[in-house]
Amino acid sequence: MAIRRTPPPAAVIAVALLALASIAAAEVYFEETFEYGWENRWVKSDWKKDENMAGDWNYTSGKWNGDPDDKGIQTAEDYKFYAISAEFPEFSSKNKALVLQFSVKHEQKIECGGGYVKLLSGQVDQKNFSGETPYSIMFGPDICGYTTKKVHAILSRNGTNHLIKKDVPCETDQLTHVYTLIIRPDATYTILIDNEEKQSGSIYSDWNILPPKKIRDPNATKPEDWDDKEYIPDPEDKKPEGYDDIPKEIPDPDAKKPEDWNDEEDGEWTAPTIPNPEYKGPWMPKKIKNPNYKGKWKAPMIDNPDFKDDPDIYAYSNLRYIGIELWQVKAGSLFDNILICDDPEYAKKFAEETWGKHKDAEKAAFDEAEKKREEEENKDLDSDIDDDEEVDDSETEADADADSDSDTKSESDVKEDKEQPQEDKEKPHEENEKPHDEL
């Protein structure tokens, strides 16, 4: 029996076509999957080269991957600085969204190092691109020790770099992850990891680029009748009768006069004193909730006279370069699938077709590599244990032989022992007579 399929409604088709049209209309400024010829698009900087501190890059898919033909660039040397950049046609993000996205994998189980990229404006000397080169945006994960495990989102304005005020934790495993920053014309932003939103908000509030719109009135004063005491002494509480007569210390009831105490020579004996357990300190009435409490006083908010709006706070002009500049204690960070465009939906689809396509296979390859590593470690451990047991067995046999020899002394040996002078038997070994620190 044939199955009759109902055609989708016209509205569904229209929405699908609209989505496709939107993606097709996306403006892509830079898209790098590091296929053949990538070296012609990227310039390795000579920064730190004279100091022999410039790290080199490997072109690889990594130790574990979902597709061996899907390659990126990976930091190759420990304790090195890395700087590499690529140029694209200059553009401005005014009146449009700006999307910066890339993937990074820390195969080395990174302990201290960055995994971020930089967007740069204007003219840049790529052969001298360094940590001192001004940038417009820096974005991506940074890991160092137990304290730093976050996503950097730094926006530069007028020569000043502004860090995001919110905490955005990054991924810390050894698999590939996609980091996406979206900045919109309404000055809102979104940070995603693996196509999932991790943080969002307003550039106005989450960076200190501009002075705050509102401030506390510096001329406001607390009203005289404002009661900000949350608790007050209970007026009904009275001091117990005789409270002030309780001594702080009392004679120790367990103390006894020493038997050799002489009153005439030592004076009249008195027991030593100890803290009185009945003494509770100076009397204070108990506290009760203040019925007139108005809360902690704060000056009212007013418009900040120093605030001047910048309607283009979201926009960056003359964007022209993408760069990777970082320091790594232990190398092994692999970058791939870098995208700069104006359409978040296009970026999402791009991530799904690159990272999303291979992530499951990569995870399986990683798990298999970990399994083999653990098996090798266990094999080495078993080998060490076997070696130790062989040494113990040989020592036991040697001890047994020695005991057997001592049990089967010849009669002449026994006779020699008996005939040995007693004074010689009792004389300490010469070495044992030395101080311990000289042995």
Residue numbering of the annotated binding site for an alpha-D-glucoside: 116, 118, 135, 142, 325
At 395 the three-state DSSP class reads helix
CA angle 64, 66, 71 (to 5 degrees): 80
Could you tell me which residues are annotated as the binding site? 116, 118, 135, 142, 325
As given in the structure block, the two tokens for residue 391 are 């040494």
Which amino acid, residue 199?
A: Q
Contact between residue 160 and residue 153 where contact means Cβ atoms under 8 Å apart: no
Count of all residues that appear for the chain in the document: 439
Q: Which residues are within 8 A (CB) of 251 and not within 5 positions of it... i.e. 6 or more apart?
A: 270, 271, 272, 273, 274
Contact between residue 198 and residue 205 where contact means Cβ atoms under 8 Å apart: no
Q: Which of 107, 98, 84, 72 is nearest to 324 (CA)?
A: 84
Structure letter (DSSP) for residue 169: B
Quote the CA–CA distance of 184 and 168 in Å, as a whole number.
19
Three-state secondary structure along 14-31?
HHHHHHHHHHHCCCEEEE
Q: Which residues pair with 302 in a beta bridge?
A: 215
Q: Which residues pair with 139 in a beta bridge?
A: 117, 153
